[in-house]
Each structure stands twice: as structure tokens, then as C-alpha cells.
Structure 1
Amino acid sequence: MQGILRWMSRPFFVFTVFMVLKINLSWLVIFGAKDTGTALLVSVPSVWVVFGLIELLAKKRKILFYMIANFAMTSVYFAAIMYYKYYGVIVNYRALQQAKQVVQVKSSVFDLMHPYYLLIYLDVVVLLVMFLFSKNIRGWGKELERSGRRIVPIMLAASLLFCLATIWMNRGIVNEIKQAEQMGILNYQVYTVLADMKKEELDPPDTIDRDEIRTLKGIASGNEDQGPYWSAAKDKNIVIIQLESFQNFLIGLTVDGHEVTPVLNRLAKEAYYFPHMYQQAGQGNTSDAEFITNTSFYIPPNGAAADIYTGKDLPSLPKLVREHEYKAFTFHTNDVTFWNRNRMYPALGFTRYYDRAFFGEEDQLAFGASDEVLYAKTAAELAKYQEEGQKFYAHVISMSAHHPYDLPEDKYAVPIPDEMKDTLVGNYLRAQSYADAALGQFIEELKQSHIWENSMIVIYGDHLGLPMYSLNEPELAMLRQMLGRDYSYTDMLNIPLIVSVPDGPPPQAFDQVGGQVDIMPTVAHLAGMPMEGRTFFGQNLLNNKHNILPERYYLPSGSFINDEGVFIPGEGVEDGDLHLIRDRVLAGAGDRDGAKTDEELGKQRLAEQLERYRDEYERALQLLHISDSYVKQLPDLEN
């Protein structure tokens, strides 16, 4: 008994208890698991590998090595929690590439940080204080008993073999969240490093056949440059407005009888409205949305497009319009170095960029001057080009409605109920209502300078604003009450696309599914700019009724969106989840009495069409592969 008590008082046992508590916390936050037995089974051996090495190799200052290891592993679990709350994915070493952006988004990070998350560091702080001010702790666990010296190597070898077996057995799971759950978060970190070391370079294709892309997407060939909308905006200016964190459920939404976005509500009725558009941005968020919109390529498998792809001479919308005697400008109130835009904009071929140096420090919101300043100075600059008779493409990036949606009271544009105040949902509604009001001022300025009637205006959301995994139950209940349904993946990823073409074909709402990758070919179609001979992965939404949209980053690998909904794989296709698009599919899903939940109806549809989904899953992965390999073989950008 005394031997057992002595062993339980050793650092090995005490620090194991600390890590068990942290494993449980991270599992509850990320995987929502009530029974964490499996978590401990796959996670504790990886902890024991580290502690076993310390016991064998650390002859002096053993407790210091335990404290360093404890801090390092604690930080991995803490990063996993925070990263999941922000992105909905499992953190890995590649996220270090994004570390330079943390200072810019620190307010968003702190807003997601529940106080009890910080308890994960409580033992680290206490032990550090004890180590600094108590000499007794420094010799804790210095010598192993003879029995321990025999047991530790056996335990270390067994734990290491178990970890390797766990990684090996689950290496084929494509869904990173499922993979981390089955491997354990620490083992998953090791796996990502080993997998990247072993990963084979993509073989650049000799040629990219546009018909091959069409076949993979399941769309007809040869119809991009024809139809009633072809050249409807020929020779008009092109103004594309990217709205920060704007989701489609805001269109038409009222709270206590007040419209949240009256300007966009009106535009959706007066223009071409695509209510079934979906974001495809990833780690680069806003900058990724800019990249996709201007290239019709998918984002890279790891990292932000602005970091990974900007060394390439990218085919793009700015370069296309410049072939038709346009100038191409981009407007963003933050510093151009944020998200590497100082390299991305030249790679995309913009004639000029306008950033903080142009907009100044006036009326600061989020990361730069407010949307009101953005739009006022942009409108004045565009008016100068119009007076010169110069056709232009202007990409305008709004930013004031950025998470965590903190607005000063003088910017409030819509009243909200008391129960929504000081909540993420309430702050989001206020921020987007302000963004809508500022956009309305921009539209009026464009009309006054006669730019509006001479331009095609395109408006879309850059990425989601309310991640499901960041919302607490009261906030989900607020959304449930507003929407009349549970807030789902289809709501979370759904952004609007609105296109105004004065004097064009009559306004209408288009029912087809689309993504940000489709914006460039749709704009080119309306502008009468042929895309023949170009490689792109989107499609003209005005002529095509079917779509497959591969997703990355905010959803696990292998996820895609089709005409029915959002598919997220599990360990394979058959145990995946299908989140049906409610107004397109769910109403006719064969459950008239409402006995089945949306989740049950999605599983039913997936089971009924399993082979179709296997095929589309493979095609979605192939589309990503072709895009990755094509961009990789593009020539380097000349300095």
C-alpha cells in the first residue's frame, strides 16, 4: 500500500490526473461527448509517452521538464478548443502560419473565450508559483524506485505502440474531426506531421479540359456564352461589393416588426437574387472570398490562398476585364499587408489597390475606417473615373460588421429585444443592420453620380457570421424563434448573391445552388466577356441548374454541397450527414406529418441515394485535386 501511495504522489501520476481533466474539457467542447471513456483510452497513452520519456531521460530538474511538457500539451488542447469555436475544425501545426493574424482578430478570439476555458491553465500557474518560491518542489520525483525503473520502459513501449496503432487504424478517415476523435487530439497532431512528410507532390496536368470540369460538376457543355442574359451588362462598369460576415437568412428577416436589412430586402426584389448561394472561403476568411470571387478556383488544401498562391501569375477577373479596356481597382480600409494582400492584389492583376493609406483613420470600426467612410471615399473616387470616360471594375470590401460585432451606440440602425442585447446574435443583427444602412448610402451616392445606371452591381457575403459551434443554447433558441426552425449547416454556410443590371432582363429570384466560385463566370456572362479557352471551376448560374460545390476548412475534407443540401462525411460516405436545403428539398421529403426530424430525413435521403453520393463525393475530391494541381503549375509571377 505504501508503494502505491508513493507512486500516486509522483509527478507522473499527478500530471496524468491534470491532463485527464483537460482531455475531458476539450472533448466536451469539441465533440460534445458525455461519456469520455473513449477519449481517455485514445488520449492518455500519448500523454504517457511524453511523461515516460521524461522519467527515463531527465536526470536533473525532472519537475521542470514535467511543467514544460504539461504547459505544451495544455496549450495544444486550449488551441484546439479556441480554434474549433472559431473555425469548427481541429487545429494542427499548419495553423502556426496564421499566428501573425491573431493580433488583428484578438477581439474575436477573446469574445469566444468562456472564462472556464482558462481553468485549463490553473495547474500551470499554481505549479509555476510553487516552483519559483518553494525549494521543496524542485526535487519532487527526482529518483525512481527500482520497481519504477523496470515498469516505466514497459509502459513507455506499450503506450507508444498503442499510439502508433491508433494512428494507423484511423489514417484512412477523411473527416478530420472524426479522425481526431478516433486518434486523440495529440496523436492527430503527430499524424498531420507524418502525413505531410509522406505526402506526394501533385502531378501537374498537361492540360485542363473544361469539358472534364463540366463532367465532374454534372453540367451541360457549351452554354456559357449564350442565352437571354448574355451581354445584358456589356460595357457597363462592374462594382462588386463583398459584405463582411453576411448570411442569407438576414434577407427579409424582421425582429419585433423591424426589418434588419431593408436596403438589401428591396434590392433582392428589384434585381437578380440567388438565395441558395454558399460560401467557400477557408482559413483566409475574407481574403479567401476575394481570391475565389476573382479567380473561380478553389482555396488551397492548407493555409490561406493569399499566402499559398500569390507567387503565381493567376488567371483572374481583373485580368479578364482589362482585356476589354477596363481598369480594375480594389478598395479595403485595412492595411494592405493584412492577409498578404500586398502580394495577392498584384497576382490577381488589379490596376491599383486602395487601403488604409487612402482611407485614413477616420471613424474607426473593426480593423479600419467604417463602412460609411469606405463607401463615401470609394464613390467619390469612382465618380472621377466615370468623368474621365474610363470603364472600371471595382471590388469593394466592407469590414465594419466583423466578429465580435461590437458597434458604438450611435451606429445602431435597428432596435432589438432586451433579451438579445449583449448576446452574439443580437450584436450580429445590429452590426449587419448598420452594414445594410451604410450600403444604402453608397447606393444613393452611386445614383447621384449616375454610376448606378451605368454599372452592374454585384453584392455577396464573404463568409459565415454565426458559427453553430460558437453559439450557446440561449442564442440557438433566439435563432430558432426568429427563423421558425433549428439553425443548421445550410443556414450557417448560406450567403446571398444579388446582381443589379439596370435596363437588363426583368428581375427575378433564381432557385439554383451556387457558390463563390460561380461569381466570376456569371459576371463575365452578363458583361459579354467570353470565357472560352480559360480554366475555371465555377459556372454561369444564369444558364445552369445543377451544381457540386466542394468545401474546405469550415467543413471536414470530402464535404460538398449539391442541389439537395450539405453533405459531411463521417468515417466514410455511408455514415456521413446530409443537411437538406429546407425550401428546395425538405418540404417534399416524404414526411408530410412531420414525424421525422430534419436530421432523420437527411439520413433517409442519403441512404436512398447512397451510390449517387459516393459518386459526387469522389467527383468533389477530384475537382479539388485538379484545381490544386492546376494552380501549382501556373508560372511564377514576374516581379
Structure 2
Amino acid sequence: MLLKSYLAWSVVFEDGSSWTTLLKEIPFVLIVFCLIEWLSSKRKLLYYMLSNLLMTSILFAVIMYYKYYGVIVTYFALAQVNQVTEVKSSVFSLLAPYYLFIYTDVVVIAALLIVRRKKLHQINQLFARKANQRFVLSLLSLSVAFCLFNVLPNRASMNEIVKAEQMGILNYEAYAFFASKEDDLVPAEEITQEKIQSLKQTQPPAEPALFGSAKGKNLIIIQMESMQNFLVDLKIDGQEITPNFNQLVKENSYFNHFYQQVGQGNTSDAEYVVNTSMYIPAHGAATQMYAGKELPSLPKLLRASGYDTATFHTNSVEFWNREELYKAVGFDRYYDKAFFGDEDSVFFGSSDEILYKKTAEELSKMEAAEEPFYTQIISMSAHHPYSIPQEKHMIALPERFDHTLVGDYITAQNYADYALGQFVADLKARGIWDNSVIVLYGDHLGLPIYSLNSHEKDLMTEIYGREYTNQDMMNIPFVVVNPGDLSPGRLYEQLGGQVDILPTVANLLGVSVGDQIHFGQDLFNQTYNLLPQRYYLPTGSFLSSEELFVSGSGYDDGKHYPLAGKISTGKGASAEEYDQALQLLKLSDSYVEHLPDWSKNEQK
């Protein structure tokens, strides 16, 4: 168990393992083993094997989860392990063969027991012998004392990775399980838009710019799978990677300091944040935790203004509980795998080419109706691990990109851009483009730093011209195509996040959000911003106008990272902003928890 702990620490923690690993991990193991010795006499060998397998599997899950999300997995996430079968190719791509050595003893012992089945009775008799009970209780007491010494002083740490390192991984997992009671909620009457604006230090202008500039237009939101901002204008050996998206950037409003705000649910979390302008939950995916609520949303807001609403996704609607989410946010209907079929399948369903082709046909029908429409379109072909079929490789990258996650990612994004270009042309040919506001953004990061090997990190350094950082990793593009905007082709450098999309597009459509609680802000009318982060970064982390702040045990030992391309004015992420970010998260959590359940209302 000590060797297994050393393996997990070497993967997860920046400083790796040390002699303190022994004092932080083994006391927990000894508690389990002492309890087996103390409480059982029959089947003791079985209990030892099961406890070994369970603790080993926890350490293995911690390793694999960290390689993608960069966080310490807890039972909240493991409870949703049923989603893994849908993304098994992504999981296997992160699996370094040496990680499997963690199961060596389990496999060897199990094999020996199978081969020596005749001696199994003798082995069980050996294990059935009672150990000295006084010694066992003394060792148990000492181990409990060590565990409490590791856990109790470190409970207040905000950074989950720091907390796990201070407590020990197994201690942290036990702590997370038993300390899972809900935080005290803010009373519903205290959650007001004025309080949110005060914490965000913003005030809506009396006459907002561009208000109603697209009034009566359709709204088409295109969510681009795994698209990061560095792809914009990227050329490799003279080859433009995303030429169609680049053209949209040049001709329309482009926000280059825009950031993801998703969690465990990734793509589905992005759908939730964009359609509600609220933050993801502290634990689990939004679609699992919040889909039963009567959520104020963009579809409901626009339906009240006469809009028809629909969402398009080539995967099954059951994946990440999307059917419940779509009911909660109020889409009139959804189109999923049952509609798109398996034609030209890539990963979970039909390719982006099929997605856009069949969606454009449906949009033509909706355009023919009298009322405008709002549709959200979820692209999927550029999904991790980016191993798209060879016939969809539109470019040939230099040899140094061969057989790398970076090379596969760029190739997949180039194909996704090709399909997007076809969709743009189709919408223009059908007369839909000029009658619509088009919004495009990346749903979440595509290249986690912790998933890259040294060669892949060198490739990212080559692309950026400097080290690839956390703030780069979470930077996604955001483009607004607005026919009513008289100043297209403009670069906006203010900070923004996915939570800001709802109020931004509502302003363009001339729809007021004053009566609907929202945590984002209209990016065309605000320059200062505060973006709390969860999941991919430790609790307490946030983006301010100039910095990414990553919490430590609290604010004082946190780390400050300047945002690329931002000119420092000396106003770094402050302790006041740290407190405000935490308060905003708590307000969002509390507000959603106070909402009624739509399912109960439906039954009534």
C-alpha cells in the first residue's frame, strides 16, 4: 500500500512523494487492517483482499481523474462513473501502462489462490488465527491518532489538492465522504440582483450600448467542442488551422479574454451555464445536481418574447441526464441521436457535417414560421481523444506532431472548422444568416496540461512561444455575429466567461433580464469582471481583469498568474475579490437549491 501511495503521489502532487507520505497514508491503511483483525475471524483473507482492492481502486481513480481534470476525485464524482462507458476512449488514452502496476499484488495473489485452490483452506486457517488483541487495539489507537493529526488541522484549506497532500489521499477521501453535509444556504429573500451586482462591482448602464440592435432576429448559439483560443489565427508550417472561424473573428465581435466555467459535466455543464447564467454546483455535474429544478433560463426568457426554442446534439439525450436539463431550462424540443442517426459516425454519434446539414434543414422550417427562434447547436466531432477517422484528416502536420495528443487535437479541430464552414455557407444560402444573431464559443479546454507528456508540452511551447499555462488552458474563444452592429470586426479585450453569454445576447435582442436572477454581465457594456472558478481549479480560485488567482489554503498562500496580453496596472487579484468570488458561488448554490422542483409541479 505504501508503494501504491508513492505512485499516486508522484502523479498527482507537484513535489511528488516524500518520507511524509508514509505518515499520511499508512495510518489509514493500518486502521482498516486493524479493524479486520479485531472484528473478523471467518473470511478474514477475503476482507483483506477486498479492502486492498478498494483502497487500490481509490488511488487508481485519483490518478486517472487527475490526468484529465487536474483535481482530486471524490465519491461525488465516482457516483457518476456510469458516464465513463461513453468516454472510454478518452479514459484509455490517458492510461500510462505503468499505472496498472498499482494492481500487481491484487492480480498475483488472486492468481495464486486460483492455482492453489486446494491450499486455500490452509491459508484461511492461517489468517483466521487471532492476533494479539492488545497489540491490535494499541496499533489502531495510534493510527487513529495519526489520521486525526493529519486531518483536523487541514480542514480549512480551500485548495482540494493542497488539502489532499496535507491530509493524505486516503484520509482526504474519507474526510470528503463524512464531511459532505450541505453548507448553510443563504436565505432566499437575501439573494437579489442588487447584491450580486454589488459583489461583482458592476452597475448596468441606464442606456446600454447595442440594446435591441438585433431585436426580432433569430438567435443561433454554436458550442464548439474542446475549442481553445490559441487556435485562432494559428498556422503550422504555413497551414491555417481554423480558416473559417478566423474569418468570423475578423468580420465580427471577438472576445479574446474569454474563459470556461465548467466542471465534471464538461460539455453539459457549458450548456447549463450558458442557458442559466449561474455557476456549476460544488460537487457533481449540473445536469445531475440541478436538472430537477425550475431554472430561470434563456429559453424561458425568449419564449416569453415569442421565440420558438430547440437544441441539437448528435449524442443520446440520456448522456449526462440532458433530457432532464432540457426540461428544466425549458427548451420546446430537442434533437438528439434518435433524429441524427448513426450516419457518418464519429465518437458518440453522427459527424459535425451531418449535425450541421440536418440542423440547417430544420432551421429552414423554423425560419418559415412567423415567430423567431433560438437554437443551441452542440458540435462533437473534435472530442477527446481526437482520433477522428483518417478520411476526415484535412491537413498533414509536420512529423513532430505525429502520434501526439497535440497533433490529434489540431487535426480534429481543423476538421471541425471545415464542417463549420459548410454550415455557415448553408445558412447564408438559405437566408438564415443575415436574419440571425450567431454566437460561437468553446465549451471547455481540449489540452489539459496534466495530460501532456514532455514532448507534447514542448509542442505547446512552440505554438505559444512560451510555456503553456493554466490560464492559457482555460482560455476559449467567443465570437458574436450581429447584423445590427454597425462596428463589426472589433476586438474586445475585457474579461468574460460563459456565465456572461445570457445577459450579453439578451441585450442585443432587446430583452430585459432585470427580473431574472443572473450572475453574468453584458460584455458589450462592462469592462470590469470577476469570474469564480470551480473544479478544474481549486475552490477559491478566480479570474480578475488582469490575473488568474489559484487559491492555496486560503488567499495569503495562493498564487497569482497574469493573463497573457494584459497590461498590468498593478491591480492584481485582491483579498476582497477572493471573498467576493466565494460569496458569489454561495449565492448561486443557495439560489438554485431554493428553486422549486419542476417534476413536482408537473405531477400536480
TM normalised by structure 1 equals: 0.91
1:599-631 Cα distance to aligned partner (Å, 9 max, x none):
xxxxxx7xx96xx62111110000011111111
Mapping of 1:422-437 within 5 angstroms?
422-437=403-418
2:259 is aligned, of 241, 258, 278, to 278
Mapping of 1:23-34 within 5 angstroms?
23-34=5-16
Query: 1:379 aligns to what SS in structure 2?
Result: helix
Mapping of 1:107-506 within 5 angstroms?
107-134=89-116, 135=119, 137-143=123-129, 148-197=132-181, 199-219=182-202, 221-223=203-205, 226-506=207-487
1:297-338 Cα distance to aligned partner (Å, 9 max, x none):
111111111111111111111011111111011000111111
8 Å Cα contact 2:264-2:535 kept in structure 1: yes
Moved more, 134-143 or 430-439: 134-143
User: Would you say 1:70 and 2:31 are equivalent positions?
Assistant: no
8 Å Cα contact 1:517-1:537 kept in structure 2: yes
In structure 2, C-alpha distance between the alignment counterparts of 1:382 and 1:200, rounded to whole Å: 44
1:533 is aligned, of 515, 520, 530, to 515
8 Å Cα contact 1:295-1:314 kept in structure 2: yes
User: Would you say 1:583 and 2:544 are equivalent positions?
Assistant: no
RMSD value, Cα? 1.5
In structure 1, C-alpha distance between the alignment counterparts of 2:500 and 2:2, rounded to whole Å: 47
Q: Alpha-carbon deviation of 1:502?
A: 2.0
Q: Which residue of 1 aligns with 2:594?
A: 633
Q: Which residue of 1 aligns with 2:83?
A: 101
In structure 2, C-alpha distance between the alignment counterparts of 1:65 and 1:131, rounded to whole Å: 14
Q: Alpha-carbon deviation of 1:169?
A: 0.8
In structure 2, C-alpha distance between the alignment counterparts of 1:209 and 1:200, rounded to whole Å: 19
The structure-2 alpha-carbon separation of the partners of 1:455 and 1:620, relative to structure 1 and needing over 3 Å to count, comes to: same
Q: Which residue of 2 aligns with 1:618?
A: 579
Contiguous gaps of at least 5 residues in structure 1: 1-18, 590-604
Q: Which residue of 1 aligns with 2:493?
A: 511
In structure 2, C-alpha distance between the alignment counterparts of 1:335 and 1:512, rounded to whole Å: 37
Query: 1:59 aligns to what SS in structure 2?
Result: coil
Q: Alpha-carbon deviation of 1:564?
A: 1.2
8 Å Cα contact 2:204-2:525 kept in structure 1: no
1:415-460 Cα distance to aligned partner (Å, 9 max, x none):
2111211110000001111111100000000000010011100000
1:105-129 Cα distance to aligned partner (Å, 9 max, x none):
1110011011111111011000001
Query: 2:355 aligns to what SS in structure 1?
Result: helix
User: Would you say 1:85 and 2:67 are equivalent positions?
Assistant: yes
In structure 2, C-alpha distance between the alignment counterparts of 1:20 and 1:532, rounded to whole Å: 57
Q: Alpha-carbon deviation of 1:132?
A: 2.1
Moved more, 517-526 or 310-319: 310-319
**What is the letter of the counterpart of residue 577 of structure 2?**
E
In structure 1, C-alpha distance between the alignment counterparts of 2:64 and 2:533, rounded to whole Å: 21
Query: 1:102 aligns to what SS in structure 2?
Result: helix
Q: Which residue of 2 aligns with 1:596?
A: none
In structure 1, C-alpha distance between the alignment counterparts of 2:324 and 2:183, rounded to whole Å: 27
Query: 2:508 aligns to what SS in structure 1?
Result: helix
Query: 2:387 aligns to what SS in structure 1?
Result: coil
State how many pairs are aligned. 595
Q: Alpha-carbon deviation of 1:493?
A: 0.4
User: Would you say 1:55 and 2:16 are equivalent positions?
Assistant: no
The structure-2 alpha-carbon separation of the partners of 1:503 and 1:622, relative to structure 1 and needing over 3 Å to count, comes to: closer
**What is the letter of the counterpart of residue 6 of structure 2?**
N
Q: Which residue of 2 aligns with 1:595?
A: none
8 Å Cα contact 2:461-2:467 kept in structure 1: yes
In structure 2, C-alpha distance between the alignment counterparts of 1:309 and 1:503, rounded to whole Å: 35
Query: 1:275 aligns to what SS in structure 2?
Result: strand
1:167-198 Cα distance to aligned partner (Å, 9 max, x none):
1111111111100000011111111122114x
The structure-2 alpha-carbon separation of the partners of 1:228 and 1:34, relative to structure 1 and needing over 3 Å to count, comes to: closer
8 Å Cα contact 1:366-1:401 kept in structure 2: no
Query: 2:420 aligns to what SS in structure 1?
Result: helix
Q: Alpha-carbon deviation of 1:41?
A: 1.4
Q: Alpha-carbon deviation of 1:201?
A: 4.1
In structure 1, C-alpha distance between the alignment counterparts of 2:16 and 2:330, rounded to whole Å: 52
Query: 1:284 aligns to what SS in structure 2?
Result: coil
Contiguous gaps of at least 5 residues in structure 2: none
Q: Alpha-carbon deviation of 1:133?
A: 2.3
8 Å Cα contact 2:270-2:443 kept in structure 1: yes
8 Å Cα contact 1:43-1:185 kept in structure 2: yes
The structure-2 alpha-carbon separation of the partners of 1:35 and 1:291, relative to structure 1 and needing over 3 Å to count, comes to: closer
Q: Alpha-carbon deviation of 1:496?
A: 0.5
1:533-562 Cα distance to aligned partner (Å, 9 max, x none):
221000000010011001111111111111
Q: Alpha-carbon deviation of 1:61?
A: 3.3
Q: Which residue of 2 aligns with 1:37?
A: 19
Q: Which residue of 2 aligns with 1:16?
A: none
**What is the letter of the counterpart of residue 587 of structure 2?**
I
**What is the letter of the counterpart of residue 614 of structure 1?**
A
In structure 2, C-alpha distance between the alignment counterparts of 1:204 and 1:352, rounded to whole Å: 34
Q: Which residue of 2 aligns with 1:4?
A: none
In structure 2, C-alpha distance between the alignment counterparts of 1:441 and 1:187, rounded to whole Å: 53
**What is the letter of the counterpart of residue 576 of structure 2?**
D
In structure 1, C-alpha distance between the alignment counterparts of 2:345 and 2:408, rounded to whole Å: 18
**What is the letter of the counterpart of residue 491 of structure 2?**
A
Q: Alpha-carbon deviation of 1:35?
A: 4.5
Q: Alpha-carbon deviation of 1:216?
A: 0.6
Query: 2:515 aligns to what SS in structure 1?
Result: coil
In structure 2, C-alpha distance between the alignment counterparts of 1:287 and 1:439, rounded to whole Å: 20
**What is the letter of the counterpart of residue 171 of structure 1?**
R
Query: 1:361 aligns to what SS in structure 2?
Result: coil
1:83-116 Cα distance to aligned partner (Å, 9 max, x none):
1112111111111331120110111001101111
Q: Alpha-carbon deviation of 1:64?
A: 2.3
Query: 1:196 aligns to what SS in structure 2?
Result: coil
Query: 2:188 aligns to what SS in structure 1?
Result: coil
User: Would you say 1:571 and 2:553 are equivalent positions?
Assistant: yes
In structure 2, C-alpha distance between the alignment counterparts of 1:62 and 1:98, rounded to whole Å: 31
Q: Alpha-carbon deviation of 1:200?
A: 4.2
